[in-house]
Amino acid sequence: MATIHPSADFRSDTVTWPTPAMVEAMATAEVGDDVYGEDPTVNELESLAASLLGKAAGLFVTSGTQGNLIAALTHAQRGDEAILGEDAHTFCWEAGGIAVLGSITTRPLPTDSRGRMDVDRIKASLRVDNPHLPHSRLILLENSSGGNNGAAIEPSYFESIGALAKQHDLAVHLDGARLFNAATALRLDPTMITAHVDSVSVCLSKGLCAPVGSVLVGSEAFIHQARRHRKLLGGGMRQAGVLAAAGIIALKTMSQRLQIDHDNAQTLAQGLATIPGIAIDPSVVETNMVFFDLAPEVAIAPEELIKALRTDYGLYMGGYGDRTLRAVTHYWIEQPQVERLVEAIRTILTGAA
Ligand SMILES: Cc1ncc(COP(=O)(O)O)c(C=O)c1O
Protein backbone atom coordinates (compact mmCIF):
# COMPACT_ATOMS: atom_id res chain seq x y z
CA MET A 1 0.00 0.00 0.00
CA ALA A 2 1.26 3.49 -0.86
CA THR A 3 2.30 5.70 2.07
CA ILE A 4 -0.43 8.10 3.13
CA HIS A 5 1.04 11.52 3.86
CA PRO A 6 -0.51 13.06 6.99
CA SER A 7 -1.23 16.33 5.15
CA ALA A 8 -3.98 14.46 3.28
CA ASP A 9 -5.18 12.46 6.25
CA PHE A 10 -8.15 13.63 8.32
CA ARG A 11 -8.97 10.20 9.76
CA SER A 12 -7.40 10.95 13.15
CA ASP A 13 -4.60 12.85 14.86
CA THR A 14 -2.98 9.43 15.46
CA VAL A 15 -1.75 9.56 11.84
CA THR A 16 0.66 12.41 12.55
CA TRP A 17 4.33 11.89 11.72
CA PRO A 18 7.10 13.24 13.91
CA THR A 19 8.06 16.83 13.10
CA PRO A 20 11.51 17.68 11.62
CA ALA A 21 12.62 18.94 15.07
CA MET A 22 11.61 15.59 16.56
CA VAL A 23 13.51 13.61 13.94
CA GLU A 24 16.61 15.67 14.69
CA ALA A 25 16.22 15.22 18.47
CA MET A 26 15.67 11.48 18.09
CA ALA A 27 18.81 11.11 16.00
CA THR A 28 20.96 12.73 18.67
CA ALA A 29 19.20 11.57 21.86
CA GLU A 30 21.30 10.43 24.80
CA VAL A 31 20.19 6.95 25.78
CA GLY A 32 20.70 4.26 28.42
CA ASP A 33 18.86 1.18 29.68
CA ASP A 34 15.54 2.53 30.91
CA VAL A 35 14.59 -0.68 32.70
CA TYR A 36 17.64 0.04 34.88
CA GLY A 37 16.39 3.66 35.19
CA GLU A 38 19.48 4.81 33.28
CA ASP A 39 18.06 6.52 30.20
CA PRO A 40 18.60 10.25 30.82
CA THR A 41 16.17 11.31 28.08
CA VAL A 42 13.37 9.11 29.42
CA ASN A 43 14.07 10.40 32.93
CA GLU A 44 13.84 13.98 31.66
CA LEU A 45 10.55 13.26 29.87
CA GLU A 46 9.04 11.66 32.97
CA SER A 47 10.01 14.58 35.24
CA LEU A 48 8.80 17.11 32.68
CA ALA A 49 5.41 15.37 32.35
CA ALA A 50 5.03 15.16 36.13
CA SER A 51 5.80 18.83 36.59
CA LEU A 52 3.58 20.05 33.72
CA LEU A 53 0.69 17.97 35.04
CA GLY A 54 1.21 18.82 38.72
CA LYS A 55 2.06 15.33 39.97
CA ALA A 56 5.09 13.94 41.83
CA ALA A 57 6.25 11.35 39.30
CA GLY A 58 5.86 10.15 35.72
CA LEU A 59 6.25 6.99 33.66
CA PHE A 60 6.84 6.70 29.91
CA VAL A 61 4.51 4.01 28.52
CA THR A 62 4.07 2.55 25.08
CA SER A 63 0.56 3.85 24.31
CA GLY A 64 -2.55 5.51 25.68
CA THR A 65 -4.19 2.12 26.06
CA GLN A 66 -1.24 0.84 28.08
CA GLY A 67 -1.25 3.97 30.27
CA ASN A 68 -4.94 3.56 31.10
CA LEU A 69 -4.55 -0.17 31.71
CA ILE A 70 -1.54 0.30 33.99
CA ALA A 71 -3.44 2.97 35.91
CA ALA A 72 -6.43 0.67 36.42
CA LEU A 73 -4.24 -2.26 37.50
CA THR A 74 -2.41 0.00 39.93
CA HIS A 75 -5.48 1.60 41.50
CA ALA A 76 -7.74 -1.47 41.66
CA GLN A 77 -7.52 -5.13 42.61
CA ARG A 78 -9.08 -8.21 41.12
CA GLY A 79 -12.85 -8.10 41.81
CA ASP A 80 -12.98 -4.33 42.27
CA GLU A 81 -15.32 -2.25 40.12
CA ALA A 82 -14.52 0.76 37.94
CA ILE A 83 -17.18 3.34 37.12
CA LEU A 84 -16.81 4.90 33.67
CA GLY A 85 -18.79 6.54 30.89
CA GLU A 86 -20.57 4.17 28.53
CA ASP A 87 -18.86 5.88 25.56
CA ALA A 88 -15.44 6.23 27.24
CA HIS A 89 -12.42 5.07 25.28
CA THR A 90 -11.45 2.86 28.24
CA PHE A 91 -14.79 1.08 28.01
CA CYS A 92 -15.33 0.91 24.24
CA TRP A 93 -11.97 0.87 22.51
CA GLU A 94 -9.36 -0.80 24.69
CA ALA A 95 -10.26 -4.44 24.07
CA GLY A 96 -11.80 -4.74 27.53
CA GLY A 97 -8.26 -4.79 28.93
CA ILE A 98 -9.11 -3.81 32.48
CA ALA A 99 -11.55 -6.75 32.71
CA VAL A 100 -9.45 -9.19 30.66
CA LEU A 101 -6.12 -8.52 32.34
CA GLY A 102 -7.12 -6.92 35.64
CA SER A 103 -10.29 -8.87 36.51
CA ILE A 104 -11.74 -5.45 37.31
CA THR A 105 -15.47 -5.25 36.58
CA THR A 106 -16.82 -2.21 34.79
CA ARG A 107 -19.91 -0.15 35.62
CA PRO A 108 -20.67 1.95 32.54
CA LEU A 109 -22.92 4.96 33.16
CA PRO A 110 -24.71 7.15 30.61
CA THR A 111 -23.02 10.39 29.60
CA ASP A 112 -24.38 13.71 28.37
CA SER A 113 -23.62 15.19 24.95
CA ARG A 114 -20.21 16.36 26.23
CA GLY A 115 -19.17 13.02 27.72
CA ARG A 116 -19.97 13.81 31.37
CA MET A 117 -21.51 11.32 33.77
CA ASP A 118 -24.05 12.67 36.23
CA VAL A 119 -22.29 13.06 39.59
CA ASP A 120 -25.41 12.05 41.59
CA ARG A 121 -25.71 8.97 39.39
CA ILE A 122 -22.11 8.06 40.19
CA LYS A 123 -22.88 8.49 43.88
CA ALA A 124 -25.98 6.31 43.59
CA SER A 125 -23.91 3.63 41.83
CA LEU A 126 -21.42 3.20 44.65
CA ARG A 127 -21.65 -0.27 46.15
CA VAL A 128 -22.42 -0.84 49.81
CA ASP A 129 -20.29 -3.30 51.73
CA ASN A 130 -22.05 -6.58 50.99
CA PRO A 131 -20.40 -9.89 50.11
CA HIS A 132 -22.64 -10.24 47.02
CA LEU A 133 -21.29 -7.08 45.43
CA PRO A 134 -18.08 -5.99 43.81
CA HIS A 135 -16.17 -3.28 45.59
CA SER A 136 -16.38 0.23 44.05
CA ARG A 137 -12.80 1.37 43.76
CA LEU A 138 -12.08 3.48 40.71
CA ILE A 139 -13.63 6.20 38.55
CA LEU A 140 -12.28 6.56 35.01
CA LEU A 141 -12.72 9.94 33.29
CA GLU A 142 -11.73 11.33 29.88
CA ASN A 143 -10.81 14.82 28.59
CA SER A 144 -11.22 15.84 25.83
CA SER A 145 -14.10 13.46 25.24
CA GLY A 146 -13.29 11.74 21.95
CA GLY A 147 -16.72 10.15 21.53
CA ASN A 148 -18.48 13.49 22.05
CA ASN A 149 -17.11 15.85 19.39
CA GLY A 150 -13.86 16.14 21.35
CA ALA A 151 -15.62 18.24 24.00
CA ALA A 152 -13.30 20.05 26.44
CA ILE A 153 -14.74 19.36 29.87
CA GLU A 154 -14.42 22.10 32.48
CA PRO A 155 -12.50 21.69 35.78
CA SER A 156 -15.64 21.91 37.96
CA TYR A 157 -16.72 18.45 36.74
CA PHE A 158 -13.43 16.95 37.87
CA GLU A 159 -13.62 18.88 41.13
CA SER A 160 -17.06 17.41 41.97
CA ILE A 161 -15.98 13.89 41.12
CA GLY A 162 -12.67 14.27 42.94
CA ALA A 163 -14.53 15.39 46.09
CA LEU A 164 -16.97 12.46 45.86
CA ALA A 165 -14.11 10.02 45.34
CA LYS A 166 -12.28 11.33 48.41
CA GLN A 167 -15.36 10.93 50.59
CA HIS A 168 -15.72 7.31 49.50
CA ASP A 169 -12.05 6.37 49.29
CA LEU A 170 -12.09 5.83 45.52
CA ALA A 171 -9.28 6.55 43.10
CA VAL A 172 -9.81 8.71 40.00
CA HIS A 173 -7.84 8.22 36.79
CA LEU A 174 -8.09 10.62 33.86
CA ASP A 175 -7.62 9.37 30.31
CA GLY A 176 -6.11 12.62 29.11
CA ALA A 177 -5.13 11.31 25.69
CA ARG A 178 -5.94 14.82 24.42
CA LEU A 179 -5.75 16.73 27.70
CA PHE A 180 -3.69 19.51 26.10
CA ASN A 181 -6.41 19.99 23.49
CA ALA A 182 -8.96 20.35 26.29
CA ALA A 183 -6.74 22.76 28.26
CA THR A 184 -6.10 24.82 25.11
CA ALA A 185 -9.81 25.08 24.33
CA LEU A 186 -10.59 26.04 27.92
CA ARG A 187 -7.63 28.47 27.95
CA LEU A 188 -6.28 27.16 31.22
CA ASP A 189 -3.32 25.30 32.60
CA PRO A 190 -3.89 21.51 32.59
CA THR A 191 -3.15 21.39 36.33
CA MET A 192 -6.53 23.11 36.90
CA ILE A 193 -8.01 19.78 35.78
CA THR A 194 -5.39 17.30 36.96
CA ALA A 195 -5.44 18.69 40.52
CA HIS A 196 -8.72 16.82 41.06
CA VAL A 197 -7.61 13.34 39.96
CA ASP A 198 -5.06 10.84 41.25
CA SER A 199 -3.48 9.86 37.96
CA VAL A 200 -3.47 11.03 34.37
CA SER A 201 -2.26 9.55 31.11
CA VAL A 202 -1.50 11.87 28.20
CA CYS A 203 -0.76 10.72 24.64
CA LEU A 204 2.38 12.14 23.06
CA SER A 205 1.58 10.49 19.75
CA LYS A 206 -1.69 12.15 18.71
CA GLY A 207 -1.98 15.90 18.14
CA LEU A 208 1.42 16.30 19.82
CA CYS A 209 3.04 14.37 16.92
CA ALA A 210 5.52 12.10 18.70
CA PRO A 211 5.77 8.78 16.87
CA VAL A 212 5.16 6.56 19.91
CA GLY A 213 4.14 6.74 23.53
CA SER A 214 2.19 8.26 26.37
CA VAL A 215 3.09 9.46 29.84
CA LEU A 216 1.34 8.37 33.00
CA VAL A 217 1.67 10.60 36.06
CA GLY A 218 0.67 10.35 39.72
CA SER A 219 2.14 10.14 43.21
CA GLU A 220 5.58 8.59 43.82
CA ALA A 221 3.97 5.50 45.36
CA PHE A 222 1.53 5.14 42.45
CA ILE A 223 4.26 5.41 39.82
CA HIS A 224 6.50 2.98 41.73
CA GLN A 225 3.75 0.35 41.51
CA ALA A 226 2.81 1.39 37.94
CA ARG A 227 6.40 0.73 36.87
CA ARG A 228 6.00 -2.87 38.04
CA HIS A 229 2.76 -3.18 36.05
CA ARG A 230 4.42 -1.72 32.95
CA LYS A 231 7.06 -4.45 33.20
CA LEU A 232 4.38 -7.08 33.71
CA LEU A 233 2.66 -5.94 30.51
CA GLY A 234 5.87 -6.08 28.50
CA GLY A 235 6.20 -2.31 28.36
CA GLY A 236 9.68 -2.04 29.89
CA MET A 237 11.69 -0.57 27.01
CA ARG A 238 15.46 -0.24 26.90
CA GLN A 239 17.11 2.65 24.97
CA ALA A 240 13.74 4.39 24.81
CA GLY A 241 15.36 7.83 24.93
CA VAL A 242 15.17 7.77 21.14
CA LEU A 243 11.39 7.98 21.54
CA ALA A 244 11.36 10.13 24.66
CA ALA A 245 13.35 12.83 22.81
CA ALA A 246 10.34 13.34 20.55
CA GLY A 247 8.06 13.23 23.60
CA ILE A 248 9.92 16.13 25.21
CA ILE A 249 9.31 18.27 22.12
CA ALA A 250 5.68 17.12 22.13
CA LEU A 251 5.19 18.38 25.68
CA LYS A 252 7.27 21.54 25.46
CA THR A 253 6.44 22.83 22.00
CA MET A 254 3.61 20.96 20.35
CA SER A 255 1.26 21.35 23.31
CA GLN A 256 1.46 25.13 22.78
CA ARG A 257 0.21 25.23 19.16
CA LEU A 258 -3.06 23.26 19.36
CA GLN A 259 -5.26 26.33 18.94
CA ILE A 260 -4.24 26.31 15.25
CA ASP A 261 -5.75 22.82 14.89
CA HIS A 262 -8.88 23.93 16.71
CA ASP A 263 -9.24 26.96 14.43
CA ASN A 264 -8.84 24.71 11.39
CA ALA A 265 -11.50 22.37 12.79
CA GLN A 266 -13.85 25.32 13.23
CA THR A 267 -13.20 26.47 9.64
CA LEU A 268 -13.91 22.95 8.46
CA ALA A 269 -17.16 22.73 10.45
CA GLN A 270 -18.34 26.09 9.15
CA GLY A 271 -17.49 25.10 5.58
CA LEU A 272 -19.33 21.80 5.91
CA ALA A 273 -22.36 23.62 7.31
CA THR A 274 -22.74 25.43 3.95
CA ILE A 275 -23.11 22.14 2.02
CA PRO A 276 -26.71 21.02 1.44
CA GLY A 277 -27.28 17.54 2.88
CA ILE A 278 -24.75 17.85 5.68
CA ALA A 279 -26.01 18.14 9.22
CA ILE A 280 -23.53 19.79 11.56
CA ASP A 281 -23.61 22.32 14.37
CA PRO A 282 -20.23 24.12 14.30
CA SER A 283 -20.82 25.42 17.83
CA VAL A 284 -20.19 21.93 19.27
CA VAL A 285 -16.68 21.84 17.77
CA GLU A 286 -14.44 22.86 20.66
CA THR A 287 -11.17 21.12 19.83
CA ASN A 288 -9.79 19.28 16.76
CA MET A 289 -12.62 16.84 16.00
CA VAL A 290 -15.41 17.45 13.52
CA PHE A 291 -18.28 14.98 13.44
CA PHE A 292 -21.06 15.43 10.91
CA ASP A 293 -24.02 13.49 9.52
CA LEU A 294 -25.23 12.88 6.01
CA ALA A 295 -28.91 13.84 5.92
CA PRO A 296 -31.32 10.99 5.06
CA GLU A 297 -32.07 12.56 1.63
CA VAL A 298 -28.40 12.35 0.58
CA ALA A 299 -28.23 9.57 -2.01
CA ILE A 300 -24.64 8.57 -1.28
CA ALA A 301 -23.61 6.34 1.65
CA PRO A 302 -20.77 7.46 3.98
CA GLU A 303 -18.50 4.65 2.70
CA GLU A 304 -19.00 5.87 -0.87
CA LEU A 305 -18.15 9.44 0.09
CA ILE A 306 -15.00 8.22 1.87
CA LYS A 307 -14.03 6.17 -1.16
CA ALA A 308 -14.61 9.04 -3.61
CA LEU A 309 -12.52 11.37 -1.46
CA ARG A 310 -9.70 8.86 -1.47
CA THR A 311 -9.75 7.84 -5.11
CA ASP A 312 -10.66 11.18 -6.74
CA TYR A 313 -8.95 13.64 -4.38
CA GLY A 314 -6.36 11.65 -2.41
CA LEU A 315 -8.00 12.75 0.85
CA TYR A 316 -8.67 10.44 3.80
CA MET A 317 -11.52 10.66 6.28
CA GLY A 318 -13.21 8.22 8.64
CA GLY A 319 -16.73 6.84 9.08
CA TYR A 320 -18.15 6.78 12.57
CA GLY A 321 -21.37 4.81 12.68
CA ASP A 322 -24.40 4.75 10.45
CA ARG A 323 -24.57 8.17 8.69
CA THR A 324 -21.84 9.89 10.72
CA LEU A 325 -18.38 10.86 9.50
CA ARG A 326 -15.41 12.27 11.36
CA ALA A 327 -12.57 14.56 10.30
CA VAL A 328 -9.75 15.42 12.69
CA THR A 329 -7.30 18.29 12.28
CA HIS A 330 -3.67 18.22 13.38
CA TYR A 331 -0.21 19.73 12.84
CA TRP A 332 0.17 18.39 9.28
CA ILE A 333 -3.18 19.76 8.08
CA GLU A 334 -3.10 23.39 7.00
CA GLN A 335 -5.93 25.73 6.02
CA PRO A 336 -5.73 25.08 2.22
CA GLN A 337 -6.24 21.34 2.81
CA VAL A 338 -9.27 22.12 4.96
CA GLU A 339 -10.72 24.19 2.14
CA ARG A 340 -9.87 21.43 -0.34
CA LEU A 341 -11.71 18.86 1.75
CA VAL A 342 -14.82 21.05 2.01
CA GLU A 343 -14.90 21.68 -1.74
CA ALA A 344 -14.27 18.00 -2.53
CA ILE A 345 -17.19 16.96 -0.33
CA ARG A 346 -19.39 19.67 -1.87
CA THR A 347 -18.58 18.44 -5.38
CA ILE A 348 -19.13 14.76 -4.55
CA LEU A 349 -22.47 15.41 -2.84
CA THR A 350 -23.65 17.75 -5.61
CA GLY A 351 -22.77 15.08 -8.21
CA ALA A 352 -24.64 12.46 -6.20
CA ALA A 353 -27.78 14.61 -5.73
C1 LIG B 1 -9.52 9.19 24.25
C2 LIG B 1 -8.50 8.15 23.95
N3 LIG B 1 -7.93 7.49 24.96
C4 LIG B 1 -7.00 6.54 24.75
C5 LIG B 1 -6.58 6.23 23.47
C6 LIG B 1 -5.59 5.12 23.27
O7 LIG B 1 -4.39 5.54 22.76
P8 LIG B 1 -3.42 4.54 21.96
O9 LIG B 1 -3.96 4.46 20.58
O10 LIG B 1 -2.09 5.22 22.04
O11 LIG B 1 -3.45 3.24 22.67
C12 LIG B 1 -7.15 6.89 22.38
C13 LIG B 1 -6.73 6.55 21.01
O14 LIG B 1 -7.20 7.05 20.02
C15 LIG B 1 -8.13 7.88 22.62
O16 LIG B 1 -8.73 8.53 21.62
Strand 135-142 to strand 105-109: parallel, antiparallel, or no bridges (unpaired)?
Answer: unpaired
Q: Is the CB of 89 under 6 A from ligand 1?
A: yes
Q: Which of 134, 169, 174 is nearest to 157 (CA)?
A: 174
Q: Is the CB of 13 under 6 A from ligand 1?
A: no
How confident is residue 1, by pLDDT bands cut at 50, 70 and 90?
Answer: confident
Render pLDDT for 205-219 as a digit per residue (tens, 0 to 9).
999 999 999 999 999
Residue spans per domain, the chain: 16-254, 257-352
| 178 Cα: distance to centroid of ligand 1 (angstroms) | 9
Average pLDDT, the chain: 97
Render pLDDT for 183-202 as a digit per residue (tens, 0 to 9).
999 999 999 999 999 999 99
Alpha-carbon span 162 to 174, nearest angstrom: 11
pLDDT at 351: 81
Asked if 179 contacts 200 with a C-beta cutoff of 8 angstroms, the reply is yes
Q: Which of 149, 97, 176, 153 is nearest to 320 (CA)?
A: 149
Q: Is the CB of 14 under 6 A from ligand 1?
A: yes
pTM of the model: 0.97
What CATH number does the domain located at 16-254 have?
Answer: 3.40.640.10
How confident is residue 353, by pLDDT bands cut at 50, 70 and 90?
Answer: low
Asked if 238 contacts 14 with a C-beta cutoff of 8 angstroms, the reply is no
Alpha-carbon span 12 to 141, nearest angstrom: 21
Q: Is the CB of 63 under 6 A from ligand 1?
A: yes
Task: Give the mutation target among 89, 145, 212, 230 for probing the ligand 1 site: most ligand atoms within 8 A of CB.
Answer: 89
Render pLDDT for 74-130 as a digit per residue (tens, 0 to 9).
999 999 999 999 999 999 999 999 999 999 999 999 999 999 999 999 999 999 999
Q: Which of 218, 281, 240 is nearest to 62 (CA)?
A: 240
Render pLDDT for 270-294 as a digit per residue (tens, 0 to 9).
999 999 999 999 999 999 999 999 9
Has residue 352 got a pLDDT over 80?
no
Q: Which of 71, 96, 95, 82 is nearest to 229 (CA)?
A: 71
Burial of 279-289, coded b for 16+ CB within 10 Å and e otherwise, reads ebebebbbbbb
Residue range 324-332: mean pLDDT, rounded: 97
SS3 197: coil
Task: Give the mutation target among 11, 61, 68, 93 for probing the ligand 1 site: most ligand atoms within 8 A of CB.
Answer: 93
Domain 257-352 has CATH 3.90.1150.10: yes
| 65 Cα: distance to centroid of ligand 1 (angstroms) | 6
| 244 Cα: distance to centroid of ligand 1 (angstroms) | 18
